[in-house]
Structure 1
Amino acid sequence: MKKKYLLLITALLFVFLAACGGDEEESGSDLLEDGVLTVGVTAGPHEEIVEKIAEIAAEDDLEIKTVVFSDYVMPNVSLDEGEIDISSFQTEPFMDSMVEERGLDIVKVADTVTFPMGVYSESVDSLEDLPDGATLGLPGDPTNSGRALLLFEQAGLITLEEGLGVNATVNDVIDNPKDLELLELDSAQIPRQLGEVDAAAINSNFAIEAGLSPNDDSLFIEQDSTFVNLIAARTENQDDEVVQQFIDIYHTDEVKEFIEENFDGSVVPGW
């Protein structure tokens, strides 16, 4: 009899502890278990903007830690694997291609800024001066490669097969009057390799980080760019209160003014 009572008490105690544990899990945001919101960014403007957001968030007792990446791939992998909480560095077409390619469980939660892509050169002062057979560098990842090809087409250097948009590849060039060589490179490394090619398409965040001004130094810049960058979160955390708090701070007039005053039109608020 005593054994039965003991088993009953043990069972009730187990249920009670499980219920308490469940309440703990449901209270608050999973992202703030350590009291810090970790945000993945690429170096340059994204990093500077999030640092500004961190200053504002500190006034509301929200601590933000910035993790800086040197490429476009690892921030998404790190987000999916839970090493960071949210990210702010990429366009939607790029994220969608990575989600499809790698099966990542991440989603867009808000728009941020636009970085017009530009064409830069250390050897010519005008695209008209490019010699026949010149080498053009462009990002090697699928989305930014297609975007760069569209930029070259806007600049009158090549013609692409119609209707492909950012899905265009170097194999879709149907007219290349100067017989230009299109060389795909790592996006983050292109500014350092600019002297090794005749000209190159560079994402503005990497250009600015390398000391280039998209407005002053580019030979041609993207016209009416629709490639708005975004904030991404894991699907399970997209509705977390702290994620919305970060978005609300990002979209304040204070952050908008910071962007407009510090980047001289090279970075444009996109919300």
Structure 2
Amino acid sequence: MRNTTKITAAVLATGALTLGLTACGSDKGDTKAKASDPLVVAATPVPHAEILEYVKDHLAKKAGLNLEVKEFTDYVTPNTATEDGSVDANYFQTQPYLEDFNEKKGTHLQSVATVHLEPLGLYSEKAKKTADLKKGATIALPNDADNESRALRFLAASKIITLKAGSESDATPQDVEKNPKNITFKEVEAAQTPRSLQDVDAAVINGNYAIGAGLKPAKDALALESTKNNAYNNVLAVTKGNEDDPRVKKLAKLLTSPEVKKFIEDKYAGSVLPSF
């Protein structure tokens, strides 16, 4: 039975404040987690929390892991919560996003397992294929730096635009060199890209948000990101110093087990791909 704790950034902010006040009077090193303690993992709902729930319901007990899943709907709070100790680990992000977050926010997160890939897709309620996009069309992009540059590279690979040479790793709309359809780009929060479909001609949507919105990437996308040589695998992450926590090691092993591979393949039918 699903028993996932859903949490919002506002609620977490209150909890984080309480945690901070408590921490002022205690030494973080004084409390070492026991193997029987719950491992609290932050995750976005689909597919991350669903995969964790499968582990919790079918694999964790036998492995001696007490797993607790907390759902978040944004790409920032899970990392800040992991960094400040509000949760023990998170599972929601790609390796490049993690590295970019560390650099910009001064956090100390690191991956401990590579689990799956969610290919980016281009979706539209107005076009049936990329060729149907009209001149002057507006395409919504995720507004965080990592996902935006990834989306632009994807559009370039789909022959919709061309990027300036050398700009690919950190491309922004200003790096578009050739734009034959005179596409306008609308930058929105990644979680809001499915909702933006009503207001734009097309949107580049991350796989988890597409699935969460009822879209079927393998079927509904006008174009889908290739898995070949793709660096954007989703990872289980902890803050530095917690990578040797026995509970984390157990979860990493379970998330890359044959059982989880089969679950991903059966449930998501190509919309989410195991990367182990």
**Equivalent of 2:147 in 106, 126, 144:** 144
**Letter in structure 2 aligned against 1:217:** D
Q: Extract structure 1 runs of 4+ deviating beyond 3 A.
A: 31-34
What is the distance in 2 between the residues matched to 1:166 and 1:189? 24
- Tell me by how many angstroms 1:242 deviates: 1.2
Residue aligned with 1:44, SS: helix
Greater helix content: 1
Instruction: After superposition, give the CA deviation of every residue in 1:15-65 in whole Å (9 maximum; x if it has no partner).
Output: xxxxxxxxx959xxx344881000111111111101111121122332111
Q: Is the 8 A contact 1:151 1:222 kept in 2?
A: yes
Question: In the alignment, what sits opposite 1:93?
Answer: 96
Q: Is the 8 A contact 1:139 1:145 kept in 2?
A: yes
Higher gyration radius (CA): 1
**Structure 2 gap segments, 5+ residues each:** 1-28
- Tell me by how many angstroms 1:231 deviates: 0.9
Question: In the alignment, what sits opposite 2:43?
Answer: 41
What is the distance in 1 between the residues matched to 2:252 and 2:121? 28
**Letter in structure 1 aligned against 2:90:** S
Residue aligned with 1:138, SS: strand
- Tell me by how many angstroms 1:236 deviates: 1.3
Query: What's the TM-score once normalised by structure 1's chain length?
Result: 0.87
What is the distance in 2 between the residues matched to 1:173 and 1:33? 51
Q: Is the 8 A contact 1:42 1:69 kept in 2?
A: yes
User: Sequence identity of aligned pairs in percent?
Assistant: 38
**Equivalent of 1:76 in 76, 79, 83:** 79
Question: In the alignment, what sits opposite 1:266?
Answer: 271
Question: In the alignment, what sits opposite 2:4?
Answer: none
**Letter in structure 2 aligned against 1:239:** D
Query: What's the TM-score once normalised by structure 2's chain length?
Result: 0.85
Q: How many residues in Structure 1 have an aligned counterpart in Structure 2? A: 246
Q: Is the 8 A contact 2:151 2:204 kept in 1?
A: yes
**Equivalent of 1:175 in 171, 175, 178:** 178
Question: In the alignment, what sits opposite 1:238?
Answer: 243
Q: CA RMSD in A?
A: 1.7
**Structure 1 gap segments, 5+ residues each:** 1-23
